[in-house]
Amino acid sequence: MNKNPILAFLLAFFPGGGLMYLGKVMRGLFYTVTVFGIPIFAIGVAVITAYGEFALLAIGGILMYIVNFIDTVITASKLYNRSADTSDEAVIERNPETERFFTIVLSFVPGLGHFQLGLVYRGITLLAVFMGLGIMILFVAMMTGREEILVFLASLPIVWIYGFFDVLRQLDKKQKGESLEDKSVFEDFESRDLEGRKSKAIATLLSIVPGAGHLYLGLQKRGIQLMVAFLFSIYILDVLRLGLFLFIVPIIWFYSFFDGLQKASKSAVGEVEDEPIITTFFNHQKWIGIGLIAFGLYYIWAYIVMPIVAPYIREMFHIDLHYWFYQYFQTAVLCLLLIAGGIKLLTGSKVKQKEEEGELD
């Protein structure tokens, strides 16, 4: 009797149900017991010992529930890949729709869909990038205590989308009778068309991360400036606690994304010149140096001098230096910078207008 893979998948919503349906009774019972048993045990221990932290062990039940889904699909997939003339009752009839079903379901975990198609090396690289990137970001955020680092988790959906649509592309090629090449996904980034141009689709996908699409197209100056502007704006607005100006971050993102789309379209037609966003950036090294010195002095004062001096000033003069510094000083400095920038723009426009009038005369 042939087994229905879709029914096995639906039965997997009850822990172990799909595996029992496929004839793997003991394994199915194991998932049933662990998925329900771990949360009950964790909550029971937390109530008895009065340590609420033990309740976090209930997350293990959720993880086992997810593993139950993956195990069910992989088991059904293995039975599908066996020859149809075997006498095993759990064998699934081979047909393209069944193969598509298994591949799409497995592809919800990056790399597993490629395993189903026999692209082991390609699947391993995708799975390693997805899992490794997520673990690294969480680890760095925990070690540094900076929640802003978690913004890089936005790169995980990019990897997931790329892997999902790559599986669909590889599946279509296989069902059309074309041969599949088991190569790393990183080789796709170096692949070019017959005229030597890079992939427009990959450039568009990478443009979700500000500057990454530009770097892929070889626009190093423009890409680095956009990436630095995006990350630095997040950092400096957090450090200076300038929540009022957070609108700058999405503006930079949208500009970078649509600029990346334009550059990708132009690169498909011909060569694109690497024009930096701020053309005069490298011509003002003196002001950049002054800015770096100012930042250095700021951090020396805020994190070395003031923690030492503030207690003595509070004791002698009854002045809370921390309060005045963080409440008024940073805002005052920002206001002065904005005023200075406005004056610079106004005087610059007047000088330019006089020059144009002199040329006309």
Please indicate, yes or no, whether residues 154 and 232 belong to a single structural domain of this protein. Answer: no
| Model confidence pLDDT, tens digit, residues 260-313 | 888 888 877 777 777 777 765 555 567 777 777 887 887 788 778 888 888 888
Show which of 47, 64, 94 is a domain's final residue.
94
Q: Considering only 72-86, 112-126, 169-183, which range has the smallest mean pLDDT?
A: 72-86
Show which of 49, 79, 94 is a domain's final residue.
94
Please indicate, yes or no, whether residues 83 and 156 belong to a single structural domain of this protein. Answer: no
Please give the residue range of the domain that contains residue 90: 1-94
Please indicate, yes or no, whether residues 55 and 83 belong to a single structural domain of this protein. Answer: yes
Please indicate, yes or no, whether residues 1 and 72 belong to a single structural domain of this protein. Answer: yes
CA-CA distance, 313 to 326, in Å (whole number)?
A: 16
Contacts 24+ apart (CB under 8 A), 78-81: 79/3, 79/22, 80/5
The percent of residues in the chain predicted with pLDDT above 70, rounded, is 76
Please indicate, yes or no, whether residues 80 and 104 belong to a single structural domain of this protein. Answer: no
Look up residue 96 and give its two tokens.
């393209």
CA-CA distance, 232 to 211, in Å (whole number)?
A: 13
Residue 1 pLDDT exceeds 60: no
3-class state of residue 192 by DSSP? strand
| Model confidence pLDDT, tens digit, residues 164-190 | 888 888 888 888 888 888 787 767 666
Is the whole-model pTM more than 0.75?
no
C-alpha dihedral sign at 38, 39, 40, 45:
positive
Please indicate, yes or no, whether residues 49 and 67 belong to a single structural domain of this protein. Answer: yes
Please indicate, yes or no, whether residues 103 and 121 belong to a single structural domain of this protein. Answer: yes
Give the mean pLDDT of the chain. Answer: 76
Backbone phi, psi, residue 301, to 5° = -70, -45
Look up residue 158 and give its two tokens.
């990019």
Please indicate, yes or no, whether residues 87 and 117 belong to a single structural domain of this protein. Answer: no
Please indicate, yes or no, whether residues 239 and 304 belong to a single structural domain of this protein. Answer: no
Please indicate, yes or no, whether residues 232 and 186 belong to a single structural domain of this protein. Answer: no
How many domains are contained in the chain? 4
Look up residue 156 and give its two tokens.
């995980």
CA-CA distance, 145 to 140, in Å (whole number)?
A: 8
Please indicate, yes or no, whether residues 292 and 264 belong to a single structural domain of this protein. Answer: no
Residue 90 pLDDT exceeds 60: no
Please indicate, yes or no, whether residues 99 and 135 belong to a single structural domain of this protein. Answer: yes
Q: Which helix (H) or strand (E) holds 9?
A: helix 5-11
- Reported as a pLDDT band with limits 50, 70 and 90, residue 52 is low
The percent of residues in the chain predicted with pLDDT above 90, rounded, is 0
Q: How far is CA 184 from CA 123, 188, 205, in A?
A: 8, 7, 18
| Model confidence pLDDT, tens digit, residues 185-223 | 767 666 655 555 677 777 877 787 888 888 888 888 888
Show which of 264, 283, 302 is a domain's final residue.
283
